[in-house]
Amino acid sequence: MKIKMTSVYVDDQEKALRFYTEILGFAKKADFSQGPFRWLTVASPEEPSGTELQLAPNNNPAAKAYQQAIFQQRQPAAMFFTDDVKGDYERIKARGAEFTMPPTDVTGSTIAMLNDTCGNLIQLTQLARYSR
């Protein structure tokens, strides 16, 4: 058993695809559709066969309620790990993303938080053991 997939709810899959590829720098992995269903995933170019992130439509009431509630609590809907949180912060910010938290040292890691414009906060995490 392996963890190969995780998902975030998004309010608009097309907008999400643009944000997760053009702003965050992931690559589109799978994209197919059956009627109103669209299966859309991205993966990291650093790890093309690694874990995929599904951009799942929030078009059911339970998904929307969950997404809004954790957003209001300022909780991240997903966390991505990086070896250079400050570099990613500068790079992603330069592409126009809004950070709700700049790189901040917390116990065991440095984290930053950004708004994915699709209804979620996304946390970038650099574990302390990876720092110099």
Partner 1 sequence: MTVREQYTPGPASGAQVRKDGEKWTLVLVRDLRHSPEKVWQALTDPAHLREWAPFEADGSLGTVGTTAKLTTVGTPTPQVSESTVTRADAPKVLEYNWGAQDIRWQLEAFGGGTRLTLWHNIDRRFISMGAAGWHICFDVLDHLLTGTPIGRIVGREAMKFGWPRLNSEYAKQFGIETPNRPSQAAQES
What residue ranges bind partner 1 (CB under 8 A)?
Answer: 4-5, 28-39, 41, 52, 56-57, 59-60
CB of 68 to partner 1, least distance (A): 19
Q: Which of residues 59 and 75 has its CB atom nearest to partner 1 in the complex? A: 59
CB of 82 to partner 1, least distance (A): 22
Q: Which of residues 52 and 88 has its CB atom nearest to partner 1 in the complex? A: 52
Q: Which of residues 35 and 132 has its CB atom nearest to partner 1 in the complex? A: 35
Q: How far apart are CA 47 and CA 17, in angstroms?
A: 18
Q: How far apart are CA 125 and CA 109, in angstroms?
A: 7
Q: Which of 6, 33, 32 is closest to 20 using CA atoms?
A: 6
Q: What is the total residue count of the chain?
A: 132
Joined tokens for residue 112: 């930053």
